[in-house]
Amino acid sequence: MSGIFLSLRQLSVTYGRGSSGAAALDDIDLDIVAGERLAIIGESGSGKSTLARAIAGLLPEGATVRGEILWPGLGHPTRAGRDFGFVFQDPGSSLNPVLTIGEQIAEGARRHLGLSWKQAYVRAEELLERVRIPQPDKAMRAFPHQLSGGQRQRVAIAAAIAARPALLIADEATSALDVVVQAEIVRLLDGLVREDGMTLLFITHDIALASGFVDRIAVFRNARLVEAGSVRSVLSAPKSDYTAALIASHRDLATPPLIVEVTS
Amino acid sequence: MSWLRRLLRTPEGAAGFVILLVLLSAGLLAPVISPGDPLKIAGRALLAPFTDPAFPLGTDRLGRDVLAGLLYGARTSLAVGMAAAFAAMVLGLCVGLAAGFAGGLIDEALMRVVDAFQIVPAFLLALAFVSTIGVSTPVVVLAIALGTWADPARLTRAEVLAIREQDYVASARVIGMHPAEIAFREILPNALPPVLALSATIVAGAILTEAALSFLGLGNPNIATWGSMIAEGRSVLRSASYLSVIPGASLAVTVLGVHLFSEGLGKALGDDGVRAA
Amino acid sequence: MRRAIILLRRRAISSIPVLLIVVIFTFFLLESASGDAVDAYLGSIGGGDAALRQSLRESYGLDQSMFARLWLYLSSLARFDLGWSVAFGRPVGALIAERLPNTLLLMGSATALSFGLGSALGILAGARPGSLRDRLLSIGSLIVYAIPSFWLGLVLSIVFSVKLRWFPIAGVETIASGKTGFARALDIADHLVLPVGALALIYLALFLRVMRSGMAEAWKLDFVLFARAKGLSRSRIVLRHVARNALLPLVTMLGLQSAAMLGGSVVIESIFAIPGFGRLAQEAVNGRDAPLLMGIVVTSAVLVISVNFLVDLVYAALDPRIGASEGGA
């Protein structure tokens, strides 16, 4: 049951031509177990988003890919939407402003599950209920601009899993949302993934947010994989100084202040 | 002149530049290549092109040299086109700047006027203007400008409104800059580029409008224009179609040159804008 | 529906001052002409003495002060009375009503053809920006857009009417043919092929370019990437996501071009001798008929306002974000 779902072998991605290209990913070796929840942690420029896009085949033109992306869990070339779903960072721009919510969820189901439009719309409404959108029947006919940011992200998640993919990739899916909403979305993702037995790739810069619910963490820095391991082992005994620094610089209300006031 | 180099590197810019250069030279060298009045009767009537070396493009119904008409017509088209576009841009910029900057009732009133000039078809307006005031060249220029100033005005105003809200304008105001100074030193230079991008379309439109006006007999009858040449050729369309086809093709090539030039310019300056941002 | 009525009310109210400006400006413009319709009329009948001129001017009300006449004109305009044409000796309104249908037919067909074909070709070009197909269509449309429509009309009539004899050379239908119903419609269509073609081809090129550039821009938007991530078919992405969004600036352009197309009809109707509204404008200019010209300008303004309003309705129907701030969806 728990075999390797996805395997990255010496994966490298460069933007730009020839030697002048900047390496966005450098020689990555990583295995993703079927059914696990893996967090990719990194700061800007670490290559985490590039990794997500490379796996999904959504890299921009002019990107050179070397190395291998193997899908032992699938046994056939990967199909977007059917084998994996992708949720983007900005819910405001992921959804097409002129089409209804219902259509944007149903189109994935129709394309990959062989459903008629009517059947696809029924499934879409069910999905809206699963992602806890209030009044799903009304929401089906609503347009993206009528929803809040958090609701739009729920819709995007519903659309991403509409065709029952085995893998869900969430690329900074919570980074553009308010803190309270972030926690809700994380809870939602966790619940969905457990219920459907999906594998989850959760990309974020927030190590604390991810550690709260994932099984494993992989830390990236400057296009390289720094370390990977279970949450407990990475947090308690980080093998690299960088990981230790990431953990240490996490700030919450218990952390002492950075700037000490000078009493005159 | 780095933008010129960049312009010439794009295929559109290079092609447009070459076309416009040829036209400008044709217009400037007209008195050299075909000295004398282009409207004078030069030879036998209805000579076909490429038959007589003295008249490489033939002659018209009255025996006027087609090549001379073509060269002098280039002058008219380019001069009127650019003058009208310039007048339209200046008027549009002033009104747009005033409306966007002043705001309130002045803005409302000015915008209604702009609306009025946008709603009446430009050609109809030019027609009415030329037919009542007269057919001299300055009047034709003004008539065309009146039909086209509304778009630059609207665009300028939109730009001004957007720029007004920017932080650098607010900081200028905070340090006490005089409103007029703000208008001309901060707002205008930034509002200008998109409006200037419009200028090529306006020049092209002005050239076509001038041609259409002289085609209908409403241009200056004392100068050679491509439009009047096309109209003249209408009466012998069956037998001597070249009389209408040649000036019309020149018109098309001119307008094409202007469009190509502006596309190339847009690309050349576009890169610049990205870097500056 | 509610949004439509709100838009209609607002548009009607803001149009009145604009129309007023149009009327006043045109009035004073035509005033500044040296010599008026009476002079033109007298010129055409070979001159007349001062007494005749005076009595004619009185009967046409041309001897009153400028402002009195403006007021008179405005008040009759409010009653939809467009005055009397001196050159034709008939009410202006009747003349326009007679000629307008031909022009509307011409313009309507040209708009439908250019919009439909232009956007279809634009979608073909924009489906793969930078492809050979795109480059060919872009260059082709650039060349066609540079062609003066009146010259195109002439060339088309040379090739298709004179040389090939496929289509009639002038007029809107065969005079006194006695045809009715479908046969008459075919006859009119036959006559309109070339003028509609000349007018439509230029705008086709324009709409092609606008659709193509709209699509090139839309391709860069995030929701297109999201659609790709969902694994949707290429045709669905091109049509339902990219083109559907690129349609919006195209519809806006349609509204902006309506005035230009009306102006373009003047020359086309002149070339093909179509008894339409545009041709009437030329005849008004030749006959120095100020009331007729005024009526034409006012009617044009009203036409353009109406077309713009219709276009705005269509735009609001296509873009659910419009009007959302007022009273909800």
Record the pTM. 0.86
Per-residue pLDDT tens over the stretch B181-205: 777 777 778 878 778 778 888 999 9
Percent of chain C with pLDDT over 90: 30
Nearest to C115 by CA among C325, C311, C313: C311
Q: Is the pLDDT of residue A1 over 60?
A: no
Q: In sequence order, what are the residues at sequence separation of 6 or more whose Cβ sits closer than 8 angstroms to the Cβ of residue C91?
A: C81, C82, C83, C84, C85
pLDDT score for C34 = 56
* CB spacing of C154 vs B248 below 8 angstroms: yes
Q: How confident is the model at residue A18 (pLDDT cuts 50, 70, 90)?
A: low
* CB spacing of C162 vs B238 below 8 angstroms: yes
Show residues of chain C in contact with A80, CB under 8 Å: 228-231
User: Scanning every residue of chain B, which has its alpha carbon at the shortest distance from the alpha carbon of C165?
Assistant: B238
B95 vs C75: which has the higher pLDDT: B95
Query: How do strand A22-33 and strand A4-15 relate by DSSP bridges?
Result: antiparallel
Task: Write down how long chain C is.
Answer: 329
Cα of C274 to nearest chain B Cα, Å: 15
Q: How confident is the model at residue C1 (pLDDT cuts 50, 70, 90)?
A: low
Among A199-203, B175-179, C279-283, name the one with the lowest average pLDDT: B175-179
Q: How confident is the model at residue C328 (pLDDT cuts 50, 70, 90)?
A: very low
Percent of chain C with pLDDT over 70: 90
What's the burial of B8, exposed, middle or buried (CB within 10 Å: 0-12/13-18/19+)? Answer: middle
Cα of C123 to nearest chain A Cα, Å: 18
Per-residue pLDDT tens over the stretch A133-177: 999 999 999 999 999 989 999 999 999 999 999 999 999 998 888
d(CA A216, CA A230): 4
Per-residue pLDDT tens over the stretch C153-188: 988 888 888 778 888 777 777 777 777 778 888 888
Per-residue pLDDT tens over the stretch B4-43: 777 788 888 888 889 999 999 988 888 888 787 878 887 7
Do the beta carbons of residue A79 and residue A126 sit within 8 Å? no
Mean pLDDT for chain A overall: 87
Cα of C300 to nearest chain B Cα, Å: 6
**Chain C interface disruption, residue of A59, A104, A107, most C CBs within 10 A:** A107
Q: Which amino acid makes up residue C303? A: L
d(CA C38, CA C287): 10
Among A239-243, B32-36, C258-262, name the one with the lowest average pLDDT: B32-36
Q: Which residue has the tokens 């202007």?
A: B258
Per-residue pLDDT tens over the stretch A214-230: 999 999 988 889 889 99
Show residues of chain B in contact with C305, CB under 8 Å: 119
pLDDT score for A129 = 92
d(CA A147, CA A138): 12
Q: How confident is the model at residue C326 (pLDDT cuts 50, 70, 90)?
A: very low
pLDDT score for A159 = 93
Q: In sequence order, what are the residues at sequence separation of 6 or more whose Cβ sits closer than 8 angstroms to the Cβ of residue B264?
A: B7, B8, B10, B11, B12, B13, B14, B15, B16, B17
pLDDT score for A131 = 92
Between residues 251 and 310 of chain C, which touch chain B (CB distance below 8 Å)? 259-260, 262-264, 266-267, 270-271, 281-282, 285, 288, 293, 296-297, 300-301, 304-305, 308
What are the structure tokens assigned to C71, written together? 């007021």
The ipTM assigned to this model is 0.87
Show residues of chain A in contact with C248, CB under 8 Å: 98
Q: Where are the beta strands (DSSP E) in chain C?
A: 84-85, 90-91
Q: Is the pLDDT of residue A17 over 70?
A: no
Show residues of chain C in contact with B128, CB under 8 Å: 26, 29-30, 285, 293, 297
Q: Is the pLDDT of residue A264 over 70?
A: no
The number of CA neighbours under 13 Å toward the Cβ of B4 is 3
Do the beta carbons of residue A102 and residue A162 sit within 8 Å? no
pLDDT score for B153 = 92
Nearest to A90 by CA among A149, A169, A12, A19: A149
Touching B (3+ Cβ pairs <8 A), the chains are: C
Q: Which residue has the tokens 């205008």?
A: B188
* CB spacing of A96 vs C241 below 8 angstroms: yes
Give backbone dihedrals phi and psi of C129, rounded to 5 degrees, phi first: -60, 135
| B244, B254, B256 ranked by CB distance to C154: nearest | B244
Among A7-21, A103-117, C130-144, name the one with the lowest average pLDDT: A7-21
pLDDT score for A250 = 75
CA angle A198, A204, A208 (to 5 degrees): 100
C30 vs B95: which has the higher pLDDT: B95
pLDDT score for C158 = 84
| C25, C157, C260 ranked by CB distance to B121: nearest | C260
Residue ranges in chain B whose pLDDT is less than 70:
1, 269-277
d(CA C181, CA B243): 41
